[in-house]
Amino acid sequence: MDSEAIKKCLEGSGLRCTPQRYAVMAFLIEHRGHPTAAEIFEGVNRVDPGCSRATTYNNLRDLVEAGLVREVAVEGRAARFDAKGTRHHHFICDRCGNVEDVEWYDVPGPASKSLGKRILRQSEVIFRGLCAKCAPRYATGSAGL
């Protein structure tokens, strides 16, 4: 995605394209490994030392609210962020906490009676287990190390 496209994308969602906001969005598009806010701050701040922590967090909030970025909460760890590209599900590693993309497929919704008066916006599947890096260490005891 080129810089003009990122600008369009921000403005299309009613967000001003400030240098800091652009940098946060560009970082997320370039780093698809679900970085934490702290990692994003560090990455953006290294390039533009004048981008503060508060601004990074503010912009992440704005981007999530605008629907351009997804926030993934992980038990016992910092939240991770994900520029929404193509739809996909997530695999979360029990051991290292890494979040990985899983090819999207349609999820059957709940029975409307079990949904009641709730308004459904989205269904997503979270897969859990061991990532490719962590699996061997367990599958073969600790011999894999």
Partner DNA sequence: TAATACTTTAGATTAAATCTAATCTGAGGC
Partner DNA sequence: GCCTCAGATTAGATTTAATCTAAAGTATTA
Which three-class secondary structure state does DSSP give residue 72? strand
Answer whether 72's CB lies under 8 Å from 90's CB: yes
Element (H, E) at 69: strand 69-72
By CB under 5 A, tell whether 82 contacts Mn ion: yes
By CB under 7 A, tell whether 36 contacts DNA: yes
Q: Give which of DNA, Mn ion, Zn ion, none residue 55 binds (C-beta under 5 to 8 Å, depending on kind).
A: DNA
The identity of residue 136, as a single letter, is: P
By CB under 7 A, tell whether 59 contacts DNA: yes
Q: Sign (positive/negative) of CA torsion 102, 29, 70, 38?
A: positive
Task: Work out how close the CB of 45 gets to a copy of itself at its nearest, in angstroms, rounded to a whole number.
Answer: 22
By CB under 8 A, tell whether 110 contacts a copy of itself: yes
Residue nearest to Mn ion (CB): 82
Q: String of b and e for 80-113 (b: at least 16 CB within 10 Å)?
A: bbbbeeeebbbbbbeeebbbbbeeeeeeeeeeee
Question: Applying CB under 7 A, which of residues 16, 46, 117, 118 lies at the interface with DNA?
Answer: 16
Strand partners for 142: 140
By CB under 5 A, tell whether 101 contacts Mn ion: yes
Question: Applying CB under 7 A, which of residues 3, 5, 12, 19 lies at the interface with DNA?
Answer: 19
By CB under 7 A, tell whether 62 contacts DNA: yes
By CB under 8 A, tell whether 145 contacts a copy of itself: no
Element (H, E) at 141: strand 140-142
By CB under 7 A, tell whether 67 contacts DNA: no
Residues that bind Mn ion (CB under 5 A): 82, 101
The site for Zn ion (CB under 5 A) is made up of 93, 95-96, 131, 134
